[in-house]
């Protein structure tokens, strides 16, 4: 945005006392490439104008060119802190469009891995929020745990950061016993690391002073501004898609978790909600990992929806035919000429995909409902009137992921 445009935006009468400060796009406290144009009176923020688009890479245009399985690799790179949750959300929408009922084993595996992704996302958010406020130690404890989650994804899919593990109607491959053992190990050791972070931060005078009553969002404002996820729950909006419209294995796991809410609506409340959600997620994983149903991970080969495994491709004519049917650019899936929206609860809030299908195996339109984009719009509302040192606290509590913000 040109600076003249910023000057026009600003119609405060005492203009001569104000000055403009560019916060970002390359600033350590913004974590990713986003820019804030702050109009300051001394150190008080009079006006904040976010300027985004530095990471815009046309993901939604690509979604109209890649097929439902190929697009998984792009979806991974939206919220790259919890990539598997994005994959689950994308394929939930695709499977709703194609009317696919997943196998129980796949539902449980996706649930476990999506919850691990949620913990991973919350750990980064909390660690980085503390880091920006000067608490380096909590960041290291949090990243130590994230490493274990990456190990789980590596064991399951072969890739640590962007697993690309989900497929239409199932998963790339079934998991091995190693993965179950790694998840068990994580669930066993996580509560200790969690309580370490709690002891470092919850009663930390500096941390509490800098987050309490900063960036307050009321319940009415949260609803009016389309806020979802932990930010809405910290403002007292009791909504969680895992409870309100359960998907995957959540209907069977309802007793294992509670929706964590707070009423403060400030940065501290958002931190506390995320901390509690991690415990609830660990409970879900602990219950789910002991009850993974046996059976196939993909839907039946007869349905002609999933990629057959190598054994079927090379050893049977039906498998070979179906493999080519799904990979030839003019074949792929037969979709209804209709459109569908499906959403899941990811770490940042409701991540939804609106797919318009035209009968071919590609989406006509693959609209993402990105929680980061909607939450970053809150920033001027939260920051105005606060000090410039509160900017990292607010940004940290919003957990903006620029790749998802700009797509």
Partner 1 sequence: MPAYLDVLNAKFPNAFTTSAFRDNQRVQLDAETAPRVLFPLLRTLKEQCGFDMLFEVGGIDYLHYPDAVDRYCVVYGVLNTTTGERLFVKAFANDPDPVLPSAVPLWEGANWMEREVFDMYGIAFTDHPDLRRILMPEEYTSFPLRKDYPLRGHGERHNFQHLTRAES
Rank residues 224 and 330 by Cβ distance to partner 1 and give the closer one: 224
Rank residues 150 and 364 by Cβ distance to partner 1 and give the closer one: 364
Rank residues 54 and 150 by Cβ distance to partner 1 and give the closer one: 54
Under 8 Å between Cβ of 83 and 117: yes
Minimum CB distance to partner 1, residue 88 (Å):
17
Give Cα 137 distance to the centre of its chain: 24
Minimum CB distance to partner 1, residue 150 (Å):
30
Minimum CB distance to partner 1, residue 200 (Å):
35
Minimum CB distance to partner 1, residue 357 (Å):
10
Minimum CB distance to partner 1, residue 130 (Å):
28
Minimum CB distance to partner 1, residue 248 (Å):
16
Rank residues 52 and 88 by Cβ distance to partner 1 and give the closer one: 52
Name which of 268, 262, 280, 395 is nearest 345 in CA terms: 280
Rank residues 22 and 202 by Cβ distance to partner 1 and give the closer one: 22
Rank residues 80 and 354 by Cβ distance to partner 1 and give the closer one: 354
> From residue 316, how far is each of 307, 320, 322, 331 by CA, in Å?
13, 6, 10, 20
Rank residues 59 and 139 by Cβ distance to partner 1 and give the closer one: 59
Count CA atoms within 13 Å of residue 259 on its CB side: 21
If one counts every other C-beta atom within 10 angstroms of the C-beta of residue 321, the result is 13
Q: Which residues bind partner 1 (CB under 8 A)?
A: 1-2, 5, 9, 52-53, 56, 58, 60-62, 64-65, 96-97, 99, 221, 223-228, 237, 239, 244-245, 336-341, 350, 352, 354, 356, 358-359, 364-365, 367, 369, 373-374, 376-377, 381, 406-407
Which residue is listed with tokens 């119609």?
Answer: 11
Minimum CB distance to partner 1, residue 295 (Å):
25
């Amino acid at each position: 945005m040109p600076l003249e445009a910023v000057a026009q935006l600003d119609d405060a009468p005492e203009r001569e006392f104000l000055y403009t400060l560019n916060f970002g796009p390359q600033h350590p406290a913004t974590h990713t490439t986003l820019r804030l144009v702050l109009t300051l009176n001394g150190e008080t923020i009079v006006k904040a104008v976010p300027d985004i688009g530095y990471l815009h890479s046309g993901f939604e245009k690509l979604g109209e060119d890649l097929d439902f399985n190929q697009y998984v690799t792009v979806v991974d790179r939206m919220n790259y802190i919890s990539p598997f949750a994005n994959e689950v959300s994308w394929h939930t929408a695709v499977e709703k469009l194609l009317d696919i009922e997943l196998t129980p084993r796949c539902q449980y595996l996706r649930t476990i891995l999506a919850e691990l992704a949620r913990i991973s996302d919350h750990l980064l958010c909390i660690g980085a929020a503390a880091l920006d406020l000067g608490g380096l130690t909590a960041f290291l404890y949090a990243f130590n745990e994230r490493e274990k989650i990456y190990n789980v994804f590596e064991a399951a899919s072969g890739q640590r950061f962007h697993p690309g593990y989900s497929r239409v109607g199932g998963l790339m491959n079934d998991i091995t016993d190693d993965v179950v053992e790694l998840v068990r190990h994580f669930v066993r050791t996580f509560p200790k690391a969690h309580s370490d972070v709690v002891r470092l931060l919850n009663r930390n005078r500096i941390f509490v002073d800098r987050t309490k009553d900063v960036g307050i969002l009321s319940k009415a404002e949260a609803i009016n501004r389309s806020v979802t996820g932990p930010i809405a729950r910290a403002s007292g909006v009791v909504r969680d898609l895992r409870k309100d419209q359960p998907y995957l294995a959540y209907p069977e796991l309802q007793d294992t978790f509670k929706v964590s809410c707070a009423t403060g609506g400030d940065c501290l409340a958002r931190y506390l909600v995320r901390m509690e959600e991690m415990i609830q997620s660990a409970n879900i994983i602990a219950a789910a990992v002991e009850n993974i149903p046996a059976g196939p991970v993909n839907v039946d080969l007869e349905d002609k929806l999933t990629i057959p495994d190598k054994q079927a491709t090379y050893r049977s004519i039906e498998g070979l035919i179906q493999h080519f049917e799904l990979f030839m650019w003019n074949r792929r899936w037969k979709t209804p000429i209709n459109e569908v929206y499906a959403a899941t609860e990811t770490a940042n809030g409701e991540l939804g995909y609106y797919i318009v299908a035209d009968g071919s195996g590609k989406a006509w339109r693959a609209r993402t409902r990105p929680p980061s984009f909607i939450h970053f719009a809150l920033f001027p509302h939260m920051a105005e009137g606060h000090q410039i040192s509160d900017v990292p606290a607010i940004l940290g509590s919003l957990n903006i992921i620029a790749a998802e913000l700009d797509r």
